[in-house]
Structure 1
Amino acid sequence: MIKRPDLLIITGPTASGKTGLSVKLARLLNAEIISADSMQIYKYMDIGTDKVSKDIQKEIPHHLIDICEPDEEFSVARYKKLADQKINEIFKRGKLPIIVGGTTMYIKAVVEGFMLPYLPDNDFRRKYKEELKSIDKNRLHNYLKMIDPEYAKRIHPNDTRRVTRAIEIYHMTGRTRTYFEFRQNRKKSRYNYLQFAIKRDRQKLYNKINSRVDEMISNGLIEEVEYLFNNFNPGRTAGQALGYKEIKEFLDGEADKETAIKNIKQGSRHLAKRQLTFLRRNSKNIWLNPDHWNNTELLAYIIKTACNKFEYFERNESKWNLSLLKCMV
């Protein structure tokens, strides 16, 4: 019988502390990190996506960061293919793969094998997509509520890309996106995985979000956005990234600086709320609250839980830092 690779997942809303926690775990467990962030895949978007520093990337291997040009489109299907490759490579090296990020569709695609049906990029589909673009976003979302109410609950009307995609799926296949998710959820994962989700106290999370946005501005986010749009034509994904589109509006004279910063903070808080709503639907999440536990307690709990499930610890006891673990527990 083929062994399923062990896979550790750290997820949670934006600014919840995923990166810091994962780096500490990777140091202890001789692990490599695979990013599950739909914006960190893009080059030249470092400050606004809060990428881990180059020094840490040299110390701990990080994968699926800086793999696309800003004007390149990227899909869940492509992410799944690349992530599966990286997991198997890390597994063969005798190390532990850790997926870290808040893009839940990326994580879902990897652990559940969830893939949307293939829709051919032909003239009919392109014409259909153009017709959908001409329809008001609220009307589109209301139509999605009629054909796929479960999925519509999870998608904001402003997310026209996902709304349009769900409508396309229905009209091209006769089935809803929810149907394909339900069918896929019945399959067994190809990985032996544990998924930890971070949930902070709301006001503390919002305070961290606000502070992080201020820090991004101080670190040069405005200059980064200016360089990005002066040198590239960011696609519909990178160009609409939170923080980038608001600063672009400021640079274009459509908003003042104070309003742009306020909108980034508000958008980030709304994003965190949506991410938590989505995560709460996953009964397999093991919840962590850094506001109630210190770092030592968090790390010890994660490692103890993983020890009971992962063969990695039996195979590689000498490779991860047992002395530090003993100090913790």
Structure 2
Amino acid sequence: MDKIPLLIIAGPTATGKSAVAVQVAKQLDGEVVSADSMLIYRRMDIGTAKPTLSEMEGIPHHLIDIVEPDANFTVAVYQKMARKTIAEIDRRGRLPILVGGTGFYIDAVIYDYDFGFSGINRELRDALKREAEEKGNEALYQKLREVDPRAAERIHVNDVKRIIRALEIYHQAGGSGSLSRRENKKEYPCYAKLFIGLSYNRDELYRRIEARVDKMINDGLVSEVAGLLNDGYHPGLTSMKGLGYKEIAGYLQNEYSLEEAVKLLKRNTRRFAKRQLTWFKRYSSIKWIDMEKYDTINNAADKILSFIRQEIALAGRKKKEKIPTEGTTCQNLK
């Protein structure tokens, strides 16, 4: 059976992934599959820098605006939806382009992760909840950092629900948690991948981040967050703990001034970008594009096209690598 050609465009926030992907898709008859854990939410547009219809330039985008902000959406659900979407794009004779900055989402697509191995331990879960209430979120988060630092990398200190779940998995996996997944991680066999990473030097990236935050404020981020709060989407939701939403929610709840909220958002986004870069640097196959060498988005897209021309699996979609179907689920995707 033929592998599905899959182009991946990743990198830290504010590196221009969405814009570059659109230009590449226009050249290659492609469709974008979002790998961003915040773009899944409806009504959360400004704080997520969600691409507008005009910015999409007619290119189909998938897995954006698929659930309400209070939905219980897991990476396991994302994995299933993303793989199904990629297969459907391929069946239409178009190129799937996986685009985003959520490294765990990308991993879920390209590796054979099984997210159903650990059930619910109600007794342990209740004990951890009590510990969070008595000692605070930071104490529970520190416990996770000590036993499973890789899980802590992708979970915010205030996301108690996910911290508890990660600790639950750690204990039920015999004290291995993320380590178990990493050591047993195998390539998902159904894709012929080309993995592109976009980057800027630190100073320029931070300048772009600060400019993006200023634009969000000018575009009405405060009103967007206020509308969500007024409609009952409380700050404890996973969606409302996303960058931009938790900081502005704090301002709206009179915890600090708007000026302080903006400073916090810029600082937290810089830290987030640093964690993203650390995550993506783990991929040995990634081909990095220094965006400062290209004066326009089109030129960066042209560089990606030059990489693609070097890859038989993606060059004109004329030659596809054959793989055995026995023991795989690829036949279920086609």
TM-score > 0.5 by shorter chain:
yes
Quick check: 1:206 aligned with 2:210?
no
AA partner of residue 228 (structure 1): L
Task: Report SS of the residue matched to 1:40.
Answer: coil
Runs of at least 4 residues of structure 1 off by over 4 A? 149-162
User: Secondary structure at 1:192's aligned position in 2?
Assistant: strand
Alignment of 1:269-288 (within 5 A): 269-288=270-289
Offset of 1:310 from its aligned partner?
4.5
Structure 2, gaps ≥5 residues long? 320-334
SS of 1:185's partner is coil
CA distance in 1, matches of 2:31, 2:12: 21
Write the letter of the residue equivalent to 2:286.
Answer: N
Deviation at residue 146 of structure 1 after TM alignment: 4.4
> Structure 1: which amino acid aligns with 2:100?
G
Is the 1:116–1:180 Cα contact (8 Å) retained in structure 2? no
1:119 paired residue number: 118
Structure 1-normalised TM-score? 0.87
Structure 1 residue 147, shift from structure 2 partner:
3.2
The alignment of Structure 1 onto Structure 2 pairs a total of residues equal to 316
> Partner of 1:78 in structure 2?
77
Q: Give 1:110's aligned residue.
A: 109
Change (3 A) 1:133 1:119: farther
Q: Could you tell me the TM-score, scaled by structure 2's length?
A: 0.86
Contact 2:129/2:164 (<8 A) preserved:
no
Q: Distance in 2 between matches of 1:196 and 1:289?
A: 11
What is aligned with 1:304?
A: 306
- Any residues of structure 2 matched to 1:45-194 within 5 Å, and which? 45-57=44-56, 59-121=58-120, 123-124=122-123, 126-134=125-133, 135-148=135-148, 157=157, 160-194=160-194
Q: Which one-letter code corresponds to 2:228 in the other structure?
A: L
1:224-275 deviation per Cα after TM superposition (whole angstroms, max 9, x unaligned)? 1111111132562111111111111111111111111111111111111111
Residue of structure 2 equivalent to 1:253: 254
Q: Is the 8 A contact 1:166 1:176 kept in 2?
A: no
- Bigger mean CA deviation after superposition, 133-142 or 166-175: 133-142
Distance 1:27 1:187 in 2: 28
Aligned partner of 1:264 in structure 2 is: 265
Partner of 2:15: 16
Aligned to 1:197: 197
CA-based RMSD of the aligned residues comes to 2.4
1:134-172: CA deviations, max 9, x gaps? Answer: 344443344335434565577675565554333211222
Distance 2:33 2:262 in 1: 30
What is the alpha-carbon distance in structure 1 between the residues aligned to residue 233 and residue 225 of structure 2?
12
- 1:12-59 per-residue CA deviation (whole Å, 9 max, x = no partner) reads 111111111111111111100011111110000001101111234471
